[in-house]
């Protein structure tokens, strides 16, 4: 990955795209502090020269012990024959604080390290190189990136890299620096993989049982059932904010109440629900019935206020559900309070099922359902034997009376049809040429 060659009496590097032997400078000894007071030009090492569209890029690195080493190294690289065609030079360096103070620049060495960069023709590239060195934590080093330009353009007037590559130039410069630093770390022995841990024994010792006490942890919050209005709404804590889904659905209940609901809800087809939803000026009996249903389902307050159109529009929300009949069928009366059931009975007080049914058949079914659920909650389930209550759950035998049963004699034809059949046989016997095979 590294290429190295002595040229013009100095250890300058030859641009190369092919991997070569490891550098002669001992970077591992330098990292361990065994090499000191070494000339910067002797440590100069280059990475791979990468061809890009319209030119090529190559990164170089060397050690520096003083700030004066930076211009000396750059002057020597520009004078080398291998770099005569370089279009732009950019570099960044970081020097240890102690070395900067010894050079007589105490203000510049006040920080962790003295830093500097140069962009050349490519504005911003030197700062990118310095950023890579900061993130890698490198000090006492100089990193240089040289850029060649193809001869397709005017060689005498080189073009800045931002005009050729745009912002992609920065990523190419950073990639060359990271690739070179990765190879230098490998040469220092810093990039080697850590030794693998010893293999675990085949049979592990049986772990002793431990009891962990989690009582110090806070209790888990109760799941919040989604409601019509959110926590920031002004109606969140009002009686109008009810749960979107009924908690009583499939939550258990009395089978006897289910059977009673089924007896009345089987007379509520979709056509009746559509007729209820299409009403614009309802009868007071229909409005009171839907008010009782809304009370039991927790979708309406105890008293409705406002104009009739607004009250009816609020009650119509009870009929919007697409699974209304299933929700009413599996409704658990134990999920409502006894006070709510008494308010529903008071709303329906003085009403008769036949009167409501004459006003609207669907409203009559809902009246019977609301009355049955409210009475169940206030008075309890009806007293009856278990066999009678579960009789509806027993399978029924199919009625196959229209079909003939096996083992019975054939049914005789009526007398008139028998006489006609006998006369037809007699006519056949009297006809000439017919075989009397009867």
pLDDT at 241: 74
Query: Mean pLDDT for the chain?
Result: 75
Query: Taking a C-beta distance cutoff of 8 angstroms, is the pair 257, 373 a contact?
Result: yes
Number of Cβ within 10 Å of residue 102's Cβ equals 13
What H or E segment, with its residue span, contains residue 144? strand 141-149
**For 173-226, what is each residue's pLDDT tens digit?**
999 999 988 888 777 766 554 555 565 554 445 555 678 888 888 877 665 666
Torsion angles phi and psi, residue 167, rounded to 5: -70, -10
DSSP conformational letter for 233? S
**For 290-308, what is each residue's pLDDT tens digit?**
989 988 888 877 777 778 8
**For 354-411, what is each residue's pLDDT tens digit?**
999 999 999 999 999 999 999 888 888 766 544 454 444 555 555 555 555 455 555 5
**For 47-66, what is each residue's pLDDT tens digit?**
889 998 888 999 999 888 88
List Cα–Cα distances, 129 to 134, 388, 422, in angstroms: 9, 91, 120
Q: How many Å from the N-terminal Cα to the C-terminal Cα in the chain?
A: 116
Number of Cβ within 10 Å of residue 209's Cβ equals 5
When pLDDT is averaged across residues 129-137 and rounded to a whole number, the result is 89
Q: Residue 413: CB partners within 8 Å, gap ≥ 6?
A: 421
Q: Check pLDDT > 70 for residue 171.
A: yes
Q: Residue 54: CB partners within 8 Å, gap ≥ 6?
A: 149, 150, 152, 153, 164, 165
**For 15-47, what is each residue's pLDDT tens digit?**
444 444 445 566 666 666 666 777 888 888 888
**For 105-114, what is each residue's pLDDT tens digit?**
544 444 457 8
What are the extents of the domains in the chain? 27-188, 255-390
What H or E segment, with its residue span, contains residue 173? helix 168-188
pLDDT at 32: 61
Indicate the pTM of the whole model: 0.39
How does residue 324 score in pLDDT terms, banded at 50, 70 and 90? confident
Q: Check pLDDT > 90 for residue 104.
A: no
Nearest to 184 by CA among 133, 254, 256: 133
CATH number of 27-188: 3.30.230.30
When pLDDT is averaged across residues 159-166 and rounded to a whole number, the result is 86
**% of residues, the chain, pLDDT over 90:** 12
pLDDT at 415: 54
Rg (CA), the chain: 49
255-390: in CATH 1.20.1250.20: no
The total number of residues written for the chain in this structure: 438
The rounded distance, in Å, linking the Cα atoms of 103 and 114 is 11
pLDDT at 222: 61
């Amino acid at each position: 990955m590294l290429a190295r060659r002595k040229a013009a009496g100095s250890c300058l590097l030859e641009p190369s795209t092919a991997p070569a032997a490891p550098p002669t400078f001992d970077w591992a000894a330098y990292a361990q502090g065994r090499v000191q007071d070494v000339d910067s030009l002797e440590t100069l090492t280059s990475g791979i020269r990468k061809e890009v569209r319209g030119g090529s890029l190559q990164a170089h690195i060397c050690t520096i012990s003083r700030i004066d080493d930076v211009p000396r190294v750059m002057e020597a690289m520009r004078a080398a024959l291998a770099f005569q065609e370089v279009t732009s030079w950019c570099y960044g360096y970081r020097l240890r604080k102690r070395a900067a103070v010894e050079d007589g620049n105490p203000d510049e060495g006040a920080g962790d390290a003295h830093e500097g960069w140069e962009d050349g023709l490519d504005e911003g590239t030197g700062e990118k190189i310095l950023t890579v060195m900061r993130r890698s934590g490198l000090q006492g080093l100089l990193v240089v990136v040289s850029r060649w330009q193809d001869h397709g353009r005017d060689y005498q007037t080189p073009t800045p890299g931002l005009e050729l590559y745009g912002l992609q130039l920065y990523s190419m410069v950073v990639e060359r620096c990271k690739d070179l630093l990765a190879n230098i770390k490998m040469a220092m022995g810093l990039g080697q993989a850590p030794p693998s841990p010893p293999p675990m024994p085949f049979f592990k010792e049986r772990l002793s049982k431990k009891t962990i006490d989690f009582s110090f942890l806070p209790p888990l919050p109760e799941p919040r059932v989604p409601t019509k209005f959110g926590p920031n709404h002004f109606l969140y804590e009002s009686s109008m904010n009810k749960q979107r889904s009924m908690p009583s659905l499939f939550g258990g209940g009395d089978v006897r109440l289910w059977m009673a609901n089924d007896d009345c809800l089987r007379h509520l087809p979709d056509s009746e629900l559509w007729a209820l939803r299409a009403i614009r000026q309802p009868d007071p009996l229909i409005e009171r019935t839907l008010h009782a249903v809304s009370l039991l389902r927790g979708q309406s307050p105890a008293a409705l206020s406002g104009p009739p159109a607004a009250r009816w529009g609020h009650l119509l929300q009870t009929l919007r559900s697409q699974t209304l009949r299933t929700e009413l069928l599996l409704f658990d009366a134990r999920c409502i309070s006894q006070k709510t059931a008494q308010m529903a009975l008071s709303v329906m007080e003085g009403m008769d099922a036949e009167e409501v049914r004459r006003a609207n058949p669907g409203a009559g079914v809902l009246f019977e359902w609301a009355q049955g659920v409210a009475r169940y909650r206030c008075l309890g389930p009806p007293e009856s034997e278990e066999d009678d209550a579960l009789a509806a759950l027993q399978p029924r035998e199919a009625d196959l009376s229209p079909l003939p049963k096996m083992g019975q004699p054939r049914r005789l034809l009526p007398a008139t049809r028998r006489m006609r059949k006998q006369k037809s046989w007699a006519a056949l016997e009297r006809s000439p040429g017919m075989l009397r095979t009867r």
